[in-house]
Amino acid sequence: MPIRNIAVGRPDEATRPDALKAALAEFISTMIFVFAGSGSGMAFNKLTENGATTPSGLVAAALAHAFGLFVAVSVGANISGGHVNPAVTFGAFVGGNITLLRGILYWIAQLLGSVVACLLLKFATGGLVVPAFGLSAGVGVSNALVFEIVMTFGLVYTVYATAVDPKNGSLGTIAPIAIGFIVGANILAGGAFSGASMNPAVAFGPAVVSWSWNNHWVYWAGPLVGGGIAGLVYEVFFINTTHEQLPTADY
């Protein structure tokens, strides 16, 4: 759908069976992802008795999120597109690839999936604290905002290149793993600074369950700005304009 076709959608779209099935898929995929990602952090805290974050802990978090997102995107791709992230949904909207009403439905499902995952973690661990996202010592709000914008740009750009672009060809088969890899890599880069959320839903669930809202807006503003820019850039320059796929031998 070209960018000029950005649309609100029909009023009955939110109640159509296919839209409700897609929303359910987003709920389940986000719950799977957040349970694995936040759960890995809680496991690290338990094993270290809430000790300081270490390089090995950062690597473990990157791996857990990369593997979890790979699976979450894979299981939802054929039903909802496997967004698993309000920033991805927003990027798809500004690129004209999803209507506003369906996007809102996805957002609701993603946020609920994250909250349910965190509630399940709190119950399953006997009441352990579900860690909320926050800025590291010495990191300012503007620094964290830039981190979240740039990292989410990379994530949504990867989604467009591997999953949305109609000329992706066989590259589409590796979309889930490529998306998981960029999230894991970004956590290694930004985890020690902003926590590397890249996903408002991932930050929202822990914030609700732990009721910790310090600088929470950063984890909405950064990903939405980065995701929106990525959607616009890729749609305008690489999808809306003619470009030919390189022959396989030229890769």
Question: Which carries the bigger pLDDT value, residue 146 or residue 50?
Answer: 146
What pLDDT, on a 0 to 100 scale, did the predictor assign at position 240?
74
Confidence of residue 54 (pLDDT cuts 50, 70, 90): confident
Tell me the two tokens of residue 184.
Answer: 């894991």
Q: What is the rounded distance in angstroms from the CA atom of residue 214 to the CA atom of residue 133? A: 8
Sign of CA dihedral 223, 224, 227, 229: negative
Q: Is residue 23 a contact partner of residue 105, using CB atoms and an 8 Å limit?
A: yes
Q: What is the mean pLDDT of residues 29-54?
A: 91
User: pLDDT averaged over the chain?
Assistant: 91
Q: What is the mean pLDDT of residues 89-99?
A: 93
Q: Is residue 162 a contact partner of residue 171, using CB atoms and an 8 Å limit?
A: yes
pLDDT at 18 over 60: yes
pLDDT at 251 over 60: no
Residue recorded with tokens 């369906």? 102
State pLDDT tens for residues 63-72. 999 999 999 9
Q: What is the mean pLDDT of residues 220-248?
A: 83
Confidence of residue 155 (pLDDT cuts 50, 70, 90): very high
Q: What is the mean pLDDT of residues 46-60?
A: 85
What pLDDT, on a 0 to 100 scale, did the predictor assign at position 250?
40
CA 32 to centroid of chain Cα atoms? 12
What pLDDT, on a 0 to 100 scale, did the predictor assign at position 12?
81
Q: What is the rounded distance in angstroms from the CA atom of residue 164 to the CA atom of residue 166? A: 6
Sign of CA dihedral 22, 23, 26, 31: negative
Rounded to 10°, the helix 175-190/55-76 angle is 150
Neighbours of 242 (CB within 10 A): 5
CA 11 to centroid of chain Cα atoms? 27
Alpha-helical regions (H) of the chain = 17-47, 55-76, 86-94, 100-124, 141-159, 175-190, 200-210, 218-234
What pLDDT, on a 0 to 100 scale, did the predictor assign at position 135?
94
Q: Is residue 242 a contact partner of residue 5, using CB atoms and an 8 Å limit?
A: no
State pLDDT tens for residues 70-83. 999 999 999 999 99
Q: What is the mean pLDDT of residues 142-153?
A: 97
State pLDDT tens for residues 169-181. 777 789 999 999 9
What pLDDT, on a 0 to 100 scale, did the predictor assign at position 13?
79
